[in-house]
Structure 1
Amino acid sequence: MSEKPITKASELKAFLFISVVLFPLLSVAVVGGFGFIIWMSQLLLGPGSY
């Protein structure tokens, strides 16, 4: 098996994809999922009382 060497261009493309596309989408998904969990728990259990 011959392995292709990693070029700077492909490394830059991967970095840009991760920093511009992947991390923002993951952060929106995590925050949205957390909000959905809180919303569903309040729907089933009622709002918190302090």
Structure 2
Amino acid sequence: MVGRVVKRAFKYRFYPTAVQAEQLARTFGCTRYVYNRALAERTRAWSQ
């Protein structure tokens, strides 16, 4: 069995409350903003 890889995955359902959904939306929005700013900076630095 050397060299054999077994992959497993687990799926969980998540039912957030209204407050949790709002916090998640805010967090994902901030994360998206930071990622896009970093990507823009990297693209700008590469093009120079």
Name the TM-score class by shorter chain.
0.5 to 0.7
Aligned partner of 1:14 among 12, 17, 31: 17
TM-score where L is the length of structure 1: 0.59
RMSD (Å), alpha carbons: 1.7
Specify which structure has the bigger relative contact order, considering alpha-carbon pairs within 8 angstroms and separated by 6 or more residues. 1
Over the matched positions of the two proteins, sequence identity in percent amounts to: 3
Aligned residues: 34
Consecutive unaligned residues of structure 2, counting only runs of 5 or more, are 1-14
Say which one has the larger Rg: 1
